[in-house]
Amino acid sequence: MFTFGLKGGYEAGIKLVNSVKLFSHVANIGDTRSLIIHPASTTHRQLSDEDRAKAGAGNDVVRLSIGIEDSADIIADLEQALA
């Protein structure tokens, strides 16, 4: 599992999730598929910005769970989505 922040905050998180092709957009972890979530717009959307930040789910935060797909495919998908 990787958690990181994106320059551009909330909108950048939504854009990344909507731009990946290989990753599945789901809230669970521990699957054989690679998964992605932007907590601020999904699981933590009911919280205020301040409460999301306190919970480690700030507007810029994206979480990835890496599955069993080929590593080159995973990297290529992230690269194209971040571009």
- The reported pLDDT for the residue numbered 42 is 92
Q: What is the pLDDT of residue 27?
A: 83
Name which CATH class applies to 2-82.
alpha beta
Cα 38 to Cα 22: distance, rounded to the nearest angstrom: 16
For the whole model, what pTM was predicted?
0.88
Cβ-proximal residues to 75 (8 Å cutoff; 6+ apart), any chain? none
- Measure Cα distances from 66 to 45, 50, 77 in Å: 24, 29, 12
Range in 12-16, 27-31, 62-66 with the lowest mean pLDDT: 27-31
Q: What is the DSSP string of 16-57?
A: HHHH-SSSEE-S----SS-EEE-GGGTTTTTS-HHHHHHTT-
Q: What does the pLDDT read at residue 58? A: 95
Predicted confidence (pLDDT) per residue in 4-13, tens digit: 999 999 999 9
